[in-house]
Structure 1
Amino acid sequence: MPKHVIKPLSLVVASGLLLGACSSLEPKVYTEDENRQRIIQDQARMYGEQEPVSSPITFYEAAARALKYNLDYRLKLMESALAADLKDVSSHEMLPRLVATAGYAGRNNDSGGTSIGIVDRQQSLRASTSEERYRDLYGLGLSWSLLDFGVAYYRTQQKADQMLMAEERRRKVAQNVLQDVRDAYWRAVGAQRLMPEVDRLLARTAQALDAARQAEDRGLLPRQEILAYQRALLDSIYMLTVRRQDLEFAQAELSALISLPPGSRLVLADTQEASLPRAARDIEKLELLSLQNRPEIMEEWYRKRVDQNDLKIAKAQLWPNVSLNWSYQYDSNKYLYNNHWSETGLQVSLNLLRLLQLPALNDAEQTQGETNDMRRVALSMAILTQVRVGALRYELARQEVEFADESLRVDRNLLDYAQAAKSTSIGSELEVIRAEGRYLLSRYQREAAYSRAQAAWGRLYNSVGLDVMPESIDQHDVKTLAREIERTMNAQEAQSLLIGSRAVEGGHALVQP
C-alpha cells in the first residue's frame, strides 16, 4: 500500500480508537481491598519515621515531637513549600515564548488552479500547482508580549507575597501547637501523678460500700445512719470517677498532639515543677511586641499587596500591547523556491473600550486599600485586647495556684488528723475516706490550677507572637530540637520583657501524702 495512503488510514484508525476509549469511560468506585490498602498507607504516613520514645518525655521534648510530627503543622509546612514552588513557576512566565512545531500535511488531490492576468484579465486555461500533496512542516517561533510580561511580573509578586502569607500561617500553627502542648502536658503530668491514687481510693471506697451494705443487711446500725453512710460513699465514688475521666482525657489529648502511635504508653518526666514566671507589668511594651510579631497582622499586610497587584494587573490590560515575533519555518514542498525561511513581526494593539474602566479601577483601588487597612487595624485592636486579657488572666491564675497550695496544706493536716483519730467504727472509716477524698480533690484542684496557670502563660506568650522554631525541623532529632526550643524560649522570655523576675512564691513543689 502506498505511503500516502497508509498515513491517512493510520490517523483514521487512531482517531476511532481514541473516540471509542472516551465513550467507554465510566465512574469507577474504589473496591474494599483498595480502601483497606489506602487505610494502611495513611496510617503508615501518620506514624512513620518517628523516633521511638525511649525515656520519660519532658515538656520541651513533647513540644519538639508535636512540632516535628504533628500532622497539622506538617500540612502547613507543605503548603509553604508549595507556595514557594508556585512562585518559581510564576517567575518563568515572564520569559519569552519559544515554541517548536513539527507536523505532516496531506490531501487526496492537488491544490492547483488557473489564473487570470492582472492587466488584461486574460485567463490561463492550463491548471497548475506548486504544492505537493504530502509534505513535512517544521517551525521554531520566538514571541514576546509586553502585556504578558507585565501581567506575569505582577503575578510573580503576588506569588511571592502568598509564599510569605503561607509562612506566616505556618508560624501561627507552630505557636498554636506549642500553646496546646503546654496546656495538655501539665494536665497530663497531673493525671500521671493522681491516677494511681484515684484508682486506689476508688477501690477502698468500693470495699467500704460493700461493707456498709453487709452491715445494713445484718442490722448492725440504724437504717438511716447506714443509708447516709452509703450516700456519702456514693458521692465520693462519683466525684472520683468524674475526676478520673478528666485525667484520662488530658493524657489522650497530649498523645494526639505529639502524634503518638495508638497503643503507645505515655510516660512523662515527673520532675520538680518550674516556678511560674512573672509577666512584665509594662503592658504597652507587650502590646508593641504583639504588633511587631503576630503572624496574623503580617499576613494581612501581605494580603494588601496581593490585592493591590490584582488592580495593577487590571490597569495594565488597559494600555497598548506590544508584541514581537520571530520564527524559523521549513516546508518539504519540492516546488518551493525556498524551503526554509524566517519571519519577523511587530504588532501594537489597544482595546479602546477598556479605557472606560479606568475611573472605576481608581475608585476600587482606593476603596480596597482603605478596606485592607481597616481590616488590619481591627485585627490589631483584637490582638491588643488579647494581650491585656492574657496578662490579667495569667496574674489571676498565679494567685489561684497560691490559694490551691494553701487549701492543699489544710486538707493534708485534716487527713493526718483523721488517720490519727481512726478507730474500728464505721463512722471513723468513713471520716478517713472523706478526708482522703477531700485531700485528693485538693491535689486535683492544685494540679488543675497549675496547669491553668501554665496555659495562661502560654496564651500570653502566644498573644505576643514570639517564635520558638529553629530554621529547619527535619534536620534535628527530637532531643536536639527540644534543647533548641528550650534555649530559644528562655532567651525570648528574658529579652522580650515577658519576665520581670522569677516568682519564688508561685509554683511550689507538689506535697506528697
Structure 2
Amino acid sequence: MPFHFDPRRLACSGLAAGLLAGCAGTPAPLAEDVADRVARQQAAMAELRSALPEQAMDAETAVAYAAGHNLEVRLATLDRALAAGAIDLASIQMLPSLSVQAGYLKRDQVEAGSGDPLGRHTRSAELSWGALEFGSAWLRTREAGERGLIYARREREQLGRIAIETRLAWLRVANAERRTAQMAEADRLLGHGEALLARLEAAGLRDPLVHAQYRDSLLALRGQLRAVGDQASAARGELAGLLTSDRRQPPRVAADAVQQDTLLASVTATLAIPEDTLETHALRHRADLRELDVQARILRREAQLTWLNALPVLRLFYGRQYDTDLRLDPPYWQQQGYSLAFNLLGLASAALQNRQLSIQRGQTDLHQLALGFAAVEQVRLGRERLALALADWRDAEARRASSARIAEIRLARSPFYEDDELEQARAQVTALQAGVAADRAWEALLERYLQLLQASGVDVWPDALPAFEADRPLEATAEALRRHWQALPQRVAELAREVG
C-alpha cells in the first residue's frame, strides 16, 4: 500500500505530542507522598524507640545498644554493603557476554518475482569477549574493593564516636545516681533550716535583718541543690537520646565493669609515651589519613583505566543466526571471528584525562599533608589537655575529700543555735558540689583521654568487632567492649613498640 502524506494526521499527532509534553512538565501534588512518608516515619520511630532492656545497663551494654540503634551507623553499614555489591557487579562484567535476539518484520511489498515472503523471522545468539572490557572490569573490581575499605573505615570511625559519646553520657548518669542519697540528705537539712526560719519569724525574737540574711542563704543553697538536680536530669535525657529511647523513661545504669583504676592506669601510661611516638602512630593509623591513602590508590587505578581505554579494542565473537528470508536449507548459519577497533580521539582524550588525574593526585597529596599537620598539632594539644585534666581531677578529688570531712564533722555535732543548722546544710551542699566538681573533672579527663586516643589513631572500637552486625547479640558486643576497655593499658603500652 503506497504512503500518502496527510497534513491533518500530522497536525493531530503534533497536537497530541504537545499535550502529552505539557502534562509531563506539570508536577503532581505531593500530598499523598508526604502522607505516606509521614506514616512510614512515625511507624519507624515507634519501632526505633523500642523498650530498653529490663536489666540495668553498664557502660559497655549501653554502648552496644546505642551502636545497634544509631541511624548513622546503619547508613555506614549500607554504604559498605553497596561497595560489596559494586565488587560483585564489576566481577560479573569480566565474564564473556551472551546476547540472544529474536524479531519479526512485516513488509507491505517485495520485489516482483523474488519469491521473498512479506513476513520475516530473525533470531540470533552470539557469545563475545573483549580483552579491553576484561581489563577495565578487573581494574573496576580492584577500585570497588578499595572503596569498600574507605566505607569500612568510616563505619568504624562512626562506631568509635558513638562509643565515646555514649560512654560519657552513661558516666554522667551513673555519677548523678550515685549522688542521690547525698542530695536527699542535703534536701532534708535545708528543710530543717526552712522550718527553723519559719519558727523564728513567727516568734519575732531576732532582728529582721538576720532573718532576711538567713533566708537568702537558704535560697542560695536551694538553688545550688536544684542546679545539681537539673544537671542529672539533662544527663539522663542525653543518654536516652543516644539510646533512641523515650526521654520520659530514662535507662537504668549498673556498676561499670571497667574500674576507674584501670582507666587511670591507661591515662598515666599514655602520658608516659613520648610525644613524637604518638605523632608517628597518628600519621600511620589515623582513619582520615588512611582514607586518603586509599583515594590516592584509586586515582592511580583511574589513570591505568584511562590509558587502557585508549588502546585498540579487540573483540572475539562466535554466534549462530537464523533468517527465513534466505534461500538456505536450513535457513541459519554459524559465524565467528574477531574485530579490532581503534578510536583516534581516544589517545588525546586519555592524555587530557590523565592530566586531570594528575591534578587530583596533587590535591590529594596536599590534603593529606594538611591533615597530617593538623593530626600532629591535635596530638600535641590533646596530650597537653590530658595532662591538665589529670591535674585538675586530682585537685578536685582532694577538695571532695576535704569537703566531705568538713560535712562529716558538722553533722556529728549537735546544733545549739539556728546558725549551726544552717552551717550543717551549707557543709552538706558544699560537699555535694565538690563531689559534682570531682565527677565533672573525671568526665573531662576521660573525654580528653578518648580524644587523644582517636587523634593518635588508636581504635576505640575493638578489633574483635570490625563492623557492626545487626543480628549480633547485644551481650556478645558488650563483652567484646569490656575486654577491649580492660586491655587498654596493655594496648597503650604496646603502642611505643609498634611504632618502633
Q: Per the shorter chain, which TM-score range?
A: 0.7 to 0.9
Letter in 2 for 1:302: V
Change in 2 beyond 3 A, CA 1:489/1:151: same
Change in 2 beyond 3 A, CA 1:43/1:293: same
How far residue 300 of structure 1 moved from its aligned partner, in angstroms, is 0.9
Cα RMSD of the aligned pairs, angstroms, is 3.3
How far residue 42 of structure 1 moved from its aligned partner, in angstroms, is 0.7
Which deviates more, 290-299 or 141-150? 141-150
After TM superposition, the structure 1 = structure 2 runs for residues 227-376 of structure 1, keeping only pairs within 5 Å, are: 227-260=212-245, 263-270=248-255, 273-275=259-261, 276-277=264-265, 278=268, 279=270, 280-333=272-325, 337-357=329-349, 359-376=351-368
Could you say which residue in structure 1 is the equivalent of 2:484? 488
After TM superposition, the structure 1 = structure 2 runs for residues 37-436 of structure 1, keeping only pairs within 5 Å, are: 37-43=39-45, 45-47=47-49, 53-107=53-107, 109-110=108-109, 112-113=110-111, 127-195=112-180, 197-198=182-183, 201-202=186-187, 205=190, 208-209=193-194, 212=197, 216=201, 219-260=204-245, 263-270=248-255, 273-275=259-261, 276-277=264-265, 278=268, 279=270, 280-333=272-325, 337-357=329-349, 359-421=351-413, 423=415, 425-436=417-428
Change in 2 beyond 3 A, CA 1:146/1:29: farther
Question: In structure 2, what is the Cα distance between the partners aligned to 1:317 and 1:378?
Answer: 34
Question: In structure 2, what is the Cα distance between the partners aligned to 1:499 and 1:163?
Answer: 27
Letter in 1 for 2:458: G
Change in 2 beyond 3 A, CA 1:496/1:424: closer
Question: In structure 1, what is the Cα distance between the partners aligned to 2:285 and 2:174?
Answer: 31
Q: Is 1:470 equivalent to 2:440 in the alignment?
A: no
The answer as to whether partners of 1:291 and 1:297 remain within 8 angstroms in 2 is yes
Question: In structure 2, what is the Cα distance between the partners aligned to 1:374 and 1:361?
Answer: 20
Question: In structure 2, what is the Cα distance between the partners aligned to 1:25 and 1:337?
Answer: 57
Question: In structure 1, what is the Cα distance between the partners aligned to 2:120 and 2:340?
Answer: 34
Letter in 2 for 1:448: R
The answer as to whether partners of 2:166 and 2:242 remain within 8 angstroms in 1 is yes
The answer as to whether partners of 1:415 and 1:435 remain within 8 angstroms in 2 is yes
How far residue 301 of structure 1 moved from its aligned partner, in angstroms, is 0.6
Pick the structure with more helix per residue.
2
Letter in 2 for 1:484: A
Question: In structure 1, what is the Cα distance between the partners aligned to 2:193 and 2:29?
Answer: 65
Change in 2 beyond 3 A, CA 1:309/1:201: same
Mark the runs of 5 or more structure 2 residues left unpaired by the alignment: 1-16
Question: In structure 2, what is the Cα distance between the partners aligned to 1:382 and 1:305?
Answer: 22
How far residue 153 of structure 1 moved from its aligned partner, in angstroms, is 2.6
Letter in 1 for 2:462: V
Question: In structure 2, what is the Cα distance between the partners aligned to 1:92 and 1:391?
Answer: 50
Change in 2 beyond 3 A, CA 1:261/1:105: farther
Question: In structure 1, what is the Cα distance between the partners aligned to 2:274 and 2:225?
Answer: 42
3-state SS, counterpart of residue 437 of structure 1? helix
How far residue 443 of structure 1 moved from its aligned partner, in angstroms, is 0.8
TM-score normalised by L of structure 1: 0.80
After superposition, what is the alpha-carbon deviation per residue over 1:124-164, rounded to whole angstroms, capped at 9, x for unaligned? xxx23443222332221223334433332322222111111
Letter in 1 for 2:319: S
The answer as to whether partners of 1:176 and 1:462 remain within 8 angstroms in 2 is no
Could you say which residue in structure 2 is the equivalent of 1:452? 444
Letter in 1 for 2:43: Q
The answer as to whether partners of 2:77 and 2:468 remain within 8 angstroms in 1 is no
The answer as to whether partners of 2:403 and 2:430 remain within 8 angstroms in 1 is yes
The answer as to whether partners of 2:61 and 2:478 remain within 8 angstroms in 1 is yes
The answer as to whether partners of 2:65 and 2:243 remain within 8 angstroms in 1 is yes
Question: In structure 1, what is the Cα distance between the partners aligned to 2:102 and 2:483?
Answer: 62
Question: In structure 2, what is the Cα distance between the partners aligned to 1:334 and 1:450?
Answer: 90
TM-score normalised by L of structure 2: 0.81
Could you say which residue in structure 2 is the equivalent of 1:119? none
Mark the runs of 5 or more structure 1 residues left unpaired by the alignment: 1-15, 114-126, 501-513
Question: In structure 1, what is the Cα distance between the partners aligned to 2:432 and 2:419?
Answer: 20
The answer as to whether partners of 1:96 and 1:144 remain within 8 angstroms in 2 is yes
How far residue 476 of structure 1 moved from its aligned partner, in angstroms, is 4.2
Change in 2 beyond 3 A, CA 1:184/1:367: same
3-state SS, counterpart of residue 312 of structure 1? helix
Change in 2 beyond 3 A, CA 1:436/1:292: same
3-state SS, counterpart of residue 56 of structure 2? coil
The answer as to whether partners of 2:121 and 2:323 remain within 8 angstroms in 1 is yes
Letter in 2 for 1:88: D
Change in 2 beyond 3 A, CA 1:175/1:36: closer
Change in 2 beyond 3 A, CA 1:404/1:422: same
Change in 2 beyond 3 A, CA 1:493/1:66: farther
3-state SS, counterpart of residue 186 of structure 1? helix
Give the count of matched residue pairs: 465
3-state SS, counterpart of residue 57 of structure 2? coil
Question: In structure 2, what is the Cα distance between the partners aligned to 1:294 and 1:54?
Answer: 38
The answer as to whether partners of 1:140 and 1:329 remain within 8 angstroms in 2 is yes
The answer as to whether partners of 1:321 and 1:348 remain within 8 angstroms in 2 is yes
The answer as to whether partners of 2:283 and 2:372 remain within 8 angstroms in 1 is yes
How far residue 488 of structure 1 moved from its aligned partner, in angstroms, is 3.0
The answer as to whether partners of 1:422 and 1:432 remain within 8 angstroms in 2 is no
Letter in 1 for 2:490: A
How far residue 92 of structure 1 moved from its aligned partner, in angstroms, is 1.4
